[in-house]
Structures are given as C-alpha cells and as structure tokens.
Amino acid sequence: MADYADLMQNVEGGKKDLVMTQVAQFLSEGRPPQEVLQEGLIAAMDAVGAKMESEEMFIPEVLRAAKTMEAGLEILQPHLAVGDVTVSGTVLIGTVKGDLHDIGKNLVAMLLSSAGFKVIDLGINVEPRSFAAKVEETGADFIGLSALLTTTMPMMEQTLEALETAGLRGRVRVLVGGAPVTQAWADQIGADGYASDAGAAIKVAKELGAVSS
C-alpha cells in the first residue's frame, strides 16, 4: 500500500497520473481527506519550496510539481467538507506600480496557494492605494510586493506609507521580493519579511504567521 512519502515523491516528480491514482486510492481506503491534503499534497509542496530555496529544484520543476499537486487536489476537493481545509492566511500579491513583470510573482502565488494560503492576485502595475484598499476590503493577513526593476522599488516603500496612512499597517504582514530587492532594502523600508525566491517566500510567510495569530 502506498504511503504519503510515496505520494509526496510523485508530486515532486511531476507524476500527475500517479498522484491522481494515489489520492483516489487513499480515499477508497477510508483515509480522511484532510489528512491526505495536509500530509500528502501540502507536505509535498512544502518540500518543493524548501528544495527550490536550496537550489535542488528549479522553476520548471517547481511549476510541474505545483500543477501535479493541483491535479491531485481536484480528485480530493469533492471529499473535503467546508471547514476541512486549514487556511494559513490570506495573501494579497501583486507587482508594484510601474512594473509589468509577473513570472516570479505568479510562481510565488502558485506555491502559496499550494501551501494552504488563500491568494488574491492583484496582477501587475498595482498602485500603493490599491493594495491598501484591498486590505481594507478583504482583511488580508499578508501583502506580497514584487518588483523586478530597480526604478520601481520605491513603490514598495510608498505602499507601506499608504497602509500607514490608511491605519492598516499594524494589521498586515508585508513581504517583499524580486531580482533587485535585498534584505537590506526590506529593513530600510520597514517590511516584515524578504524572500529571495518563491521557495523562501513560503517559508517566510509561515514563520511570520498572521498578525492576529
């Protein structure tokens, strides 16, 4: 009988058909759907994030694993009762105003979703006040700010200022990332966390946790 370690390995390896078969098998054996989700699928994506951070896996492999996890989740979803899924928090994510790059941002969004976060993707070229308004509207726990251009990095600082002006800064964790972004920059503008890549973003978000937790 397959175990969760085997399922995790198949998710990491992008073996979609095998993962779908294994998830269906676990359900037919009477395994709790929440257990299959947490100990199989989400645990696999946690491992993928860690391997990306340590450069044991790269973007094409990570994307394939995420798509494989989603295929397994499709089999599992009808068996999950409302309230079964433990959400780690709601994340607003977007590329800052003036920047139209989204590949890295999309990958972070996909991995966060796979790791159990509710993700609201605001897209590209997002104004500081739009982030603040969406925090007010959704009660989000985290904001993920992406910038690939040095010239758009100041928009991260302006987004933090917009949150402050709206009286929302204390309610949300702000994470920053992108090619020119550094830990020093994150510290300078007062962000809560910095991630060098998508794998690190998952780890940082989980370590920080929501403000209210």
Contact, 175 vs 107, CB < 8 A? no
The one-letter amino acid at 74: E
Q: What is the Rg, in whole angstroms, of the alpha carbon atoms belonging to the chain?
A: 18
Asked if pLDDT for residue 97 goes beyond 70, the answer is yes
Residues of CATH 3.40.50.280 domain(s) within the chain? 90-208
| Residue 213: per-residue pLDDT | 58
Q: Strands (DSSP E) along 53-163, which ranges?
A: 90-96, 118-126, 142-146
Query: 102-137 in b/e burial notation, b at 16+ Cβ within 10 A?
Result: bebbbbbbbbbbbbbbbbbbbebbbbbebbbebbee
Q: Residue 1: pLDDT band by 50, 70, 90 thresholds?
A: very low
Residues of CATH 1.10.1240.10 domain(s) within the chain? 4-79
Which residues lie closer than 8 Å to 124 by C-beta, 6 or more apart?
94, 95, 99, 100, 101, 102, 105
pTM for the model: 0.76
| Residue 129: per-residue pLDDT | 97
CATH number of 4-79: 1.10.1240.10
Q: What would the pLDDT profile of 47-64 be if each residue is shown by its tens digit?
A: 998 898 889 999 899 889
Range in 18-22, 162-166, 207-211 the model is least confident about: 207-211
Burial of 99 (0-12, 13-18, 19+ CB in 10 A): buried
Average pLDDT, the chain: 91
Distance from C-alpha of 11 to C-alpha of 95, rounded to nearest angstrom: 29
CATH number of 90-208: 3.40.50.280
| Residue 56: per-residue pLDDT | 94
Asked if pLDDT for residue 172 goes beyond 60, the answer is yes
Which tokens sit at 195? 């991630």
Which tokens sit at 130? 């739009």
